[in-house]
């Protein structure tokens, strides 16, 4: 049997990339009984029929991770892309993406794109998130800034790009590899196209062991996967860190006395926008729970 990775699935066929090229495969019927469905990103063992060079997926190797939206296995990294302008940077939305990626326990790389539109503001933002301990890069596809650094971060990973429409995700992928030829442009043009083309998810190969998904991660931005208010601070690194110094271990860092987090916000060691995202998400989790 030959090992490979599923890069695409269309109409019951799976396309498995192996050392001998890409083989069109069907899945063994038994998977259905086992309630197991091969996913894009799965490492599989296939049996190749030498007569017509098609294959059968015989075994799915253990998964390192599994995302629901989009449905893909073995993703190791999320690249959270935001533009500094056009559309305007939205720290609240950025923090939301970070919370989701933290929850999935994936490597996180923050990419501030379109730095050509406001270098100073980009640097300010980059410093805030670097200060928390995140990997952050500033990029511009227009001026070819940060593209090589982005490429390096993609090595030996299966990465998904996440971020709102129009921030430059497709442009960045095209800058990384000109063979990708993903559609770029303003939002209205894309929605028009989207209506007439059927979308399928595909892993694009950068080099051996490095892939990117051609579609944005995290289809929905609901925080309903967090059931307990106390869980939220796990996904804000700096709040988690300083929270160990609060008087109460159950401190939610709202109005409790002797709260180390509020203290650090006052001292300027925790950014006010990060703290306000935290309070806002906390409220949302409470409201979700009410239904």
Residues within the interface to ligand GDP (CB under 6 A): 113-114, 116-117, 140-142, 165-171, 184-186
Burial 214-244 (b: 16+ CB within 10 A, else e): bbbbbeeeebeebeebeebbebbbbbebbbe
With CB under 5 to 8 Å by kind, the binding choice for 259 among ligand GDP, Zn ion, none is Zn ion
Binding span for Zn ion by CB under 5 A among 21-29, 177-185, 200-208, 242-250: 242-250
Q: Categorise residue 11: left if φ over 0, alpha if ψ from -120 to 50, beta otherwise.
A: left
CB neighbours of 266 closer than 8 A, spacing ≥ 6? none
Shortest Cβ 271–ligand GDP spacing (Å): 24
Query: Which positions from 244 through 273 interact with Zn ion, judged by CB under 5 A?
Result: 246, 251, 253, 259, 261
CB closer to ligand GDP, 134 vs 180? 180
With CB under 5 to 8 Å by kind, the binding choice for 261 among Zn ion, ligand GDP, none is Zn ion
CB closer to ligand GDP, 43 vs 151? 151
Cβ 242 vs Cβ 252: under 8 Å:
no
CB closer to ligand GDP, 39 vs 172? 172
**Where is 132: in which H helix or E strand?**
helix 119-132
With CB under 5 to 8 Å by kind, the binding choice for 113 among ligand GDP, Zn ion, none is ligand GDP
Can you name the residues that pair with 103 across neighbouring β-strands?
Answer: none
- Choose among 211, 99, 218: nearest CA to 156: 211
CB closer to ligand GDP, 3 vs 143? 143
CB closer to ligand GDP, 74 vs 170? 170
Shortest Cβ 162–ligand GDP spacing (Å): 10
- Expressed in angstroms, the distance from the first to the final Cα of the chain is 50
Shortest Cβ 142–ligand GDP spacing (Å): 4
> How far apart, in whole angstroms, are the C-alpha atoms of residue 137 and residue 115?
10
Tokens 């271990």, residue located: 249
Cβ 116 vs Cβ 122: under 8 Å:
no
Shortest Cβ 192–ligand GDP spacing (Å): 13
CB closer to ligand GDP, 148 vs 165? 165
Q: Which residues bind Zn ion (CB under 5 A)?
A: 246, 251, 253, 259, 261
């Amino acid at each position: 049997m030959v090992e490979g990775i599923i890069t695409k699935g269309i109409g019951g066929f799976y396309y498995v990339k192996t050392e001998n090229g890409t083989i069109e495969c069907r899945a063994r019927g038994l998977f259905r009984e086992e309630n197991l469905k091969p996913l894009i990103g799965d490492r599989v063992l296939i049996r190749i029929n030498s007569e017509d060079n098609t294959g059968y997926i015989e075994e799915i190797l253990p998964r390192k991770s599994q995302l629901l939206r989009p449905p893909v296995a073995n993703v190791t990294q999320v690249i959270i892309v935001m533009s500094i302008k056009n559309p305007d940077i939205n720290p609240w939305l950025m923090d939301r993406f970070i919370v989701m990626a933290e929850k999935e326990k994936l490597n996180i790389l923050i990419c501030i794109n379109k730095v050509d539109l406001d270098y100073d503001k980009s640097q300010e933002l980059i410093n805030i998130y670097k200060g928390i301990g995140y990997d952050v890069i500033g990029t511009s596809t227009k001026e070819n800034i940060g593209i090589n650094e982005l490429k390096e971060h993609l090595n030996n990973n299966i990465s998904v790009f996440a971020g709102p429409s129009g921030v430059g995700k497709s442009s960045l992928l095209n800058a990384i590899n000109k063979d990708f030829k993903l559609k770029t442009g303003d939002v209205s043009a894309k929605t028009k196209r989207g209506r007439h083309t059927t979308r399928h998810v595909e892993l694009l190969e950068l080099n051996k062991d490095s892939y990117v998904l051609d579609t944005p991660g995290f289809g929905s931005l609901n925080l309903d996967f967090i059931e307990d208010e106390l869980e939220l601070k796990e996904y804000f690194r700096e709040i988690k860190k300083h929270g160990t110094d609060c008087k109460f271990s159950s401190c939610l860092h709202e109005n409790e006395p002797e709260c180390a987090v509020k203290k650090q916000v006052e001292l300027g060691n925790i950014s006010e926008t990060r703290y306000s995202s935290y309070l806002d998400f906390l409220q949302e989790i409470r409201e979700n729970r009410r239904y």
